[in-house]
Structures are given as C-alpha cells and as structure tokens.
Amino acid sequence: MSIDELIENFEFFDSWEDKYRYIIELGEKLPPLAEKYKTEDWLVKGCQSQVWLVPHKEGDDMYFEGDSDAMIVKGLIAIVLQIYNHKRPQDIKSLSIDEIFNKLGLKEHLSPSRRNGLEAMINKIKFYAG
Amino acid sequence: MFDVMKIRQEFPILAQKINGKPNTFLDSGASAQKPKCVIDKMTQMYLHEYSNVHRGSYFLSEEITSAYEEARRDVQKFINAGSDSEIVFTRNATEAINLVAASYGRKYLTSADEVLISEAEHHANLVPWQVLRDEIGFKLNICRVNDDGSFDFSDFKNKLSPKTKLVAITGMSNVLGTVFPLAEIIAEAHNIGAKVLVDACQLAVHRKIDVQVLDCDFLAFSGHKTYGPTGIGVLYGKYDLLDSMPPYQCGGDMVDKVTYEHTTFDVPPARFEAGTPAIVEAIGLGEALRFLQNIGMDNIAAHEDELTSYGMEKLSSISGLRHIGQAKEKSGILSFVIDGIHPQDLAFILDKEGVAVRVGHHCAAPLVHRMGYESVARASLGVYNTKEDIDILCQAINKAKTFF
C-alpha cells in the first residue's frame, strides 16, 4: 500500500473510532520483531510504551523493522515505516512526515508532549539515515 | 457545607470541552487546575502591584514585599509551622529536597552514616539521595511497601539503625495513594536520633498537615499540586536546623555583608532564597492555600475519601481490571491496569472521550516495577472531581475494551 492509498483510506473514516480501529489493524498486520531485537540496544528512549527500532540496509536503500508493546503505537509505527521504508538515506532525511501525518489527521501524535515514542522514533530513523 | 458543584465553578477550565466531550480531568496528582481566585490574584499583581521584593524603598516594592511575606505566613498557617522563618520558597518540591540534600546532606552526612527512604518514593526523593550517596559514600537503605501498597512498618523498623542519620520519606504515595503512618515513622526515627524529611507533595493536597504535631524536621511540597501556580514550592525546616545549614545557592537577597574578600550570609529563610524569587507565584500559592483552608482540609479529605471508595468499587466491577495499591489507608489515587490493554493505548482512547489520566511509571519507576508492571494508568482525584467523573472514566474504559 502506498502512502497516497493510506491517506485515501484515512479520508474514508468519519469517526475517530473507525480510524483507531484501522490503526490497530495496521499494528496487528505489522510483522512482529524477532525476540532477539527486543533488547535495550534497540529500544527507543523517551516513550511511555516500549518501542523498538532496527535499521537495515538493502543496496542503496534503507528499511526498518519496528515494534511496540502498545497496539495503537504499533499501528502508528506501521504507518511511519510505510513512509520511510525502502528509501535512500538522503530521501529519508529530507522527507517531511508532518505533512503526511497532517493529511492522515494524526498530527497530534507527533507532538512531543505525547511521549508515545513516535517523535523519538522518527528522530532515530533520521539518525540512522546519517 | 461542601458543595462540589459550587467548587467546580471556581475552576473555569473544567467547563471547557475536550475533543467535544466534557472535561473529565483525573490528573490532578500530576498538577492541579487553578481556581479563579489564584488566576485573578496573579493578574492583579502584574496589572497593579508589581515590582521586585526586598529592594526598593518605594510604594510598589513595599506593597509587593508585604504581599510576598504574607504568602509565607499563608504557608505557615497551612502547615501550622511555629514561625514564618521556617518557610523557604523554592522553585518546586524537587528543589526543596535538593536543597536539603545539598545543604544539610553535605554538611552532616558522612560515609559512616545511613539514609533511609521507602520503595514508594517519587524520583525526586530518590535520585538526589543516590547522587549524594555516590558523592559522600553513605549507605542508602530502602524500606518496603507490602504487595497491597501499605507501608511495611516492621521492615522500616528493621532498616532503621543507630547509623541512620536521615529518613526521607513520602507522606502519601503518588502511585499507590497510600497515606504513610508519618507520626509513628517520625517518632521511631527520632528515637534513634535521625532527622526526618517528609515529601508531602501528595499529602498536602489531600490531608491537613500540622508540622508541629508531626514533629518532622523538614517537609517539602509543591505549589502547582496544591492548586497554586507552577514555579513555586515550599521547604519547611525547623528553624535551628535551617540556621545551622550553609546556603544552597548564592547571590542577591541572601547575604548579610559582602566585600570583595568575604561574604556573610543572611538568616533563614532569606539565606536559602538567592536571587529574585518567583514573587507573583508565591503570592498565588498563598491565595491557593487560603482557598483550600476556606473549604477546609478535613472537608476536602472527606470528599476525596468518599470518591476514592466509590472509584475503587466502580473500577472493581470492570472485568480484567487490576488495582495497584489497595491499602486501607489510601486516598486520592486510583492506579490500575486492564488485562490485554497497554496503559498507553488506554490513554489514547480515554483522551478521545475527554478523560485525562496519566500512564507510565509516574516518576516512580522502581516502585511500578516492584508492583510488577512496566507502566500503569493512574486516575488522581482533586477537590473538584465528582462521582460522575468516575462514571465517565469507567464508561470510557469499557469503551476502550471494545477496541482490543
């Protein structure tokens, strides 16, 4: 699914309940992270839930695996990975996720006060991208 | 006559809709909302009565200095201290505890001593002692709470030794809601010659405090949890003890005589209030404490005790809900987890329903781990909360359960 398709899907929801159910579904579909990665080393700091992020290289591109013990957070991770995965590091660094989250109506989840780990995770992705 | 609906009218923010829903504010344990009288008083000070304190010999400075010192007497009355010279204004309770650690701790504690705290301490009453332990080399002992969240008095007695110089302990846990048996704790500690610092951040909001009856040596609480502004906290210390302590920070307003070679320091509390203080915030705090006293701390405690029992009972009817902290002596705090729902996910759904709770480790990570969790949800009650707030919380939790 492309980001445009995702945005289209989100436009379809007229209640927050439907939107959150869909986010939870996205989280359920996200392949779980291998247990060996669920360690302090891959933990993203500064979250109210546990968030793990593991970077990989694939030719010139990067992709990430992520997971969380919270389901809504995991769904949000699925969206973030959808946005960033299989891109070149320079594209990862220059990409404006705010705009996409705005279109998804999820801007509130990027606010630092949320401490849900998304902001920290995005910073970490950009850090791994160099 | 305690009338919660009348009290609610004093808090304009509660009338505001959150995500289109009534504002069900259940996070007063983190910071309480402010009554109009506090907001108005502070606005009035800035509009008509502002200048620096203890400085100019002109009308405005004299006016605000007397208002600032009047606020100190409001604090004195609130905790029934023997003298207003025993009240030090700090930035918050954290700074008050750090002040004791830095000043009293560095002067009086040695590597041969022990400091005793409890498992239920907020990081603010744990980390300063760990850091000081690493610097000085004293032993930091930690006494237990029971699995139900009650204070384990026999463990406390066991861990109290002739080497214990200081007991730094909470009056009321911000996670468990347990009210600690302070009078007995302080009496035991004094028997072996230890000093006692009470972290009264939660206690000051929910219970009447009398430092002369308690006989504690230090007591700290924050302004923003007692319905006052942020940026202001209180350290109470027995005068002779404060007078024997060196300054914490140095600068203006805390000195006696200054030459290029040498400085002598002012007496307490001025000695511990270096620089321009949070003047308007102190005055706002005084107003907040008067607001509480007009309602009556015993009336507030009775209201919150009733709400706490109601909340415990209502929450218990939700299947899969587990309470954290079920001590008999408990008030104001309802911590829980729901089987199969991460507290963070729960908070997302509650927020959409206009319900504000806090999730996480509540700045007491070791305690949350000791109770067997990584993260818990906490609904904390204030003077303005109602049974309806609890009902809305329970409905929202039941709604959240349909998502997972």
Residue A117: which CATH number? Answer: 3.90.1010.10
A69 inside 8 A of chain B by CB = yes
Q: How confident is the model at residue A115 (pLDDT cuts 50, 70, 90)?
A: low
Does A49 sit within 8 Å of B344, measured CB to CB? yes
- What is the mean predicted confidence (pLDDT) over B356-361? 94
**B352 contacts A73? CB cut-off 8 A:** no
- Residues on B contacting A at a C-beta cutoff of 8 Å: 19, 342-345, 347-349, 352, 359-360, 374-375, 403-404
Q: Which residues of A touch B343 (CB under 8 A)?
A: 48-49, 70
* Of A47, A62, A97, A129, catalytic: A47
Q: Does residue B151 surpass a pLDDT of 70?
A: yes
Q: What pLDDT score was predicted for residue A97?
A: 86
Cis status, amide bond into B269, omega within 30 of 0: yes
| A114 pLDDT higher than 70 | no
Asked whether residue B212 carries a pLDDT value surpassing 70, the answer given is: yes
- The reported pTM is 0.94
What span, in angstroms and rounded, lies between the C-alpha atoms of A82 and A65?
Answer: 10
Q: What confidence category does residue A111 fall into, taking pLDDT thresholds of 50, 70 and 90? A: low
- Count contacts between A and B (CB, < 8 Å): 41
Q: Which of B143, B201, B216, B363 is catalytic?
A: B363
Structural domain boundaries enclosing A18: 3-128
Task: Give φ, ψ of B377 to 5 degrees.
Answer: -95, 145
Provide the pLDDT for residue A63: 95
**Three-class SS of residue B287?**
helix
Calculate mean pLDDT across residues B298-311.
98
Residue A113 has what pLDDT?
61
Confidence label for A106 from pLDDT (cuts 50, 70 and 90): confident
ipTM: 0.90
Instruction: Verify whether the Cβ–Cβ distance A73 to B375 is below 8 Å.
Output: no
Q: What pLDDT does A45 receive? A: 80
Contact A73 B344 (CB under 8 A): yes
Helix, strand, coil % in chain B, rounded to nearest 5: 45, 20, 35
- The answer to whether residue A3 scores a pLDDT higher than 90 is no
b/e code B151-186 from CB counts within 10 Å (16+ = b): bbbebbeebbeeebbbbbbbbbbbbbbbbbbbeebb
Average pLDDT, chain B: 97
The predicted pLDDT at position A96 comes to 84
**Is there a contact between A48 and B344 if contact means CB atoms under 8 Å apart?**
yes
Q: Which residues of A touch B360 (CB under 8 A)?
A: 48, 115
Length of chain B: 404
Domain count, chain A: 1
B18, B346, B348, B352: best to mutate for the A interface, most A CBs within 10 A: B348
| Structural domains for chain B | 4-30+296-401 (3.90.1150.10), 40-294 (3.40.640.10)
pLDDT digits (tens, 9 = 90+) for B9-55: 999 999 999 989 999 999 999 999 999 999 999 999 999 999 999 87
Is the pLDDT reported for residue B95 higher than 90?
A: yes
What integer is the mean pLDDT of B261-285? 96
